Structure 1
Amino acid sequence: AQTGPAQKAPEQTELAALPVPEANRLTAAPFSALQGQIALPVTGKIKRRFGASDGNGAVMLGDMVATQSGAIVTAPADGNVLYAGPFRSYGQLLILNAGDGYHVVLAGMSRISVASGQSVLAGEPVGAMGEARVASTSASKNGNATPELYVEFRKDGKPVDPTPWWADRLSGRT
C-alpha cells in the first residue's frame, strides 16, 4: 500500500470541514474594551498629549509621538481602512474604523502600505515615517527635527483622549 499525499488529502479535507472547538475560538474584543492594552503605533515617546496646547493657539485633539526616520507604523487595533492617502499638510493620513463607533486617525507618515477597504490586524505594519518636516512647530521651536506621528481616537465623530487606551508596557518593536 502506498502512503502519500493522495491518501492524506481526504483526511485533511475532513478535518478542515470540522467546526472550530469553542475553546479554540478567538473573539474580537470591542475597541472600548481595549483600554490599557494598545501599544503605541510607532516606537517613540509621546511629546504632546490630548488637550495640551498645539503650539499654534489651539489644543491637541490627539497625541503626538516623536519617533525616528524610517520607523514602521503599525495598526494600533484591528479595523477596516476607511482612508489611506495624502491629506492637506499632514503627510500621509490613515483612518481606521475600529468598530463600536470608534475611529483611529494616524497622520504624518511618508508612506502608507495599506489601501482603502482593506482589513488590518493590531500590530500589522500600515506605513512608515519619513524625515522630519522642517516646518513642524516642535522642530522649529526645539531645534531637533524628529519625525512625529499624530494619533487621534474618535468616538461617534468626536475626539477622545487616547491616554486610557495606551498600554504601560513597551510595544516590543525595535
Structure 2
Amino acid sequence: PVSVDLLLVAAWRRMRTDSGNRDAWLWFAIALIASLGANVATAGLLDMTNVPAWLRILVAGWPAIAFLGGTLLAHARPATPQPDHAPEPVPPPEPVAEVTVERASEPAPELPPAEPTPVVVQPEPTPQEKPLEPAPVVSVASVPPALMAHAQKIADVHRARTGEPIDAETLRTRHGIPPALADSIALQLA
C-alpha cells in the first residue's frame, strides 16, 4: 500500500510541475489502477484462498514496478517550455529630466574675530653695527575659530580652578588634539 501511495504522490507532483509530461500521466494511471485493484481485492469480492497465478505474479512484482516508476519520475528532467513567439523587444528607457533644487541661503553664524597672528619684525642692521643673529621665528598654526573658542572655554575653566593659565600639555590632554596644535593654541591664548 505504501508503494502505491508514494507512486501516486510522485506522479501527481511531476504532473503539477511539468503538465505536458506523458510519463507522469502514465505512472499516475498505473498507480491509480493498482490502488483500486488492491481495494477491490481486500473488499471481499475476490476469493483469497484461490488467487489466480497471474495476480500473484503481479502482486509479487509490484514493489519493483513502483520503484522503477518513482525513480523515473524523480530523475526525469523537466521540459523547458519553448516560447510560441519571439520575445518582444524592451523599449529603451525614457530620458529623465534633470531637476535642480536650490536651497535658500542661510546666514553664516557670527564667529568671534580671530586674533591676529603675531609677526616678529627684525630690525635691519645699520652699516656701522655688526649684523645680529636672527631671532627664532615661532610659527603659529592657523586654528579654526570654533576650535579656538572651545579652547578658550577650557582655558577659562582651568584658570578659575587653579588660578594659573593653562599650559599646552594640559590643553592637549583636555582637548584631545596633537601637541603641535596645542602649542599653537596655547601661544594664542597667552
**Length-normalised TM-score, structure 1:** 0.19
Select the structure of larger CA radius of gyration.
2
**Length-normalised TM-score, structure 2:** 0.18
> Greater strand percent: which structure?
1
> Greater helix percent: which structure?
2
- Which protein has greater RCO, CA pairs closer than 8 Å, 6+ apart? 1
